[in-house]
Amino acid sequence: MFIKMGENLMTYEKAMEKVMIENGGFAPLKLIYENIEKYRKNTGKTPDRTIQERAQRCFTRIAKGIYCTEEFAMQLEQDNKGYLEISSKNNVVFKPIKITQETERIGSQKIRIGHSTFRDKLINDLKQCPITHIDDTKLLIASHIKPWVLSNNEERLDVNNGFLLSPLFDKLFDKSVGLITFTDKKEILLSKRLKNNINKIGVIHRQIIEDLPVVGREEFLEYHRKYIFQG
């Protein structure tokens, strides 16, 4: 055990933050479980469950079971310095983005310039939310399938890495929630975590979304099902 003098009184949140900072600003839950006792003793009957609950409440979830500090999330979202790559064994590596003329231009004007281009492409191609059929662009959100913070520059601007969704379904699909996803057969999958609200969102589990654009998006959807969806 590596607890230093006085640090046995450190809160779970502070100890978890230290593990994340030690790992570069982010960490999978497994890494937190394995390293938190450097900073405080695990207490209670189910310490891993306590850690998971604290992570969900106090930190930014960037993929299934992976959380980061607020500073790291801001670095990814605002500074366009890099992206996270998840291996088949769920190892996570932060990779700096290769600087090109285009990424340098986008970076110098903040990444929302790139996001605006991405949204315009989606509106031009898709026109509406495939679930609600809302077509008022003021009510449509450009939703990345593989999240922005997990994507490299090419993926961030790839129109096949996105859907136009109305606000409710964008929120349910988002990386921080992950309560819906889609299959290559155009089925919508609903997470059991929706609980009492599962019957209130206007669709049912495995309902076919006829207008869902799937062709060209299969690889991104597979990623979403594997790393984002909270089944």
Q: What would the pLDDT profile of 29-41 be if each residue is shown by its tens digit?
A: 989 999 998 888 8
Q: For residue 35, give both structure tokens.
A: 């390293």
pLDDT of residue 111: 44
Residues above pLDDT 90, as percent of the chain? 45
**CB neighbour burial string for 152-182, b if at least 16 within 10 angstroms, e if fewer:** bbebbbbbbbbbbbbeebbebbbbebbbbbb
Q: How far apart are CA 62 and CA 65, in angstroms?
A: 8
pLDDT of residue 143: 94
pLDDT of residue 113: 52
The DSSP H or E segment spanning 89 is none
Position 80 confidence tier, pLDDT thresholds 50, 70, 90: low
The stretches of 36-190 forming alpha helices (DSSP H) are 47-58, 70-74, 101-108, 112-126, 153-156, 167-173
Q: How far apart are CA 106 and CA 80, in angstroms?
A: 9
* Average pLDDT for 46-61: 87
Determine the 3-state secondary structure of 163 from DSSP.
strand
pLDDT of residue 190: 96
Q: What is the pTM of this model?
A: 0.72
Average pLDDT of every residue of the chain: 84
33-37, 43-47, 77-81: least confidently modelled range:
77-81
Q: How far apart are CA 189 and CA 178, in angstroms?
A: 10
* Average pLDDT for 143-171: 91
Number of neighbours of residue 79 by Cβ within 10 angstroms: 12
Residues above pLDDT 70, as percent of the chain? 80
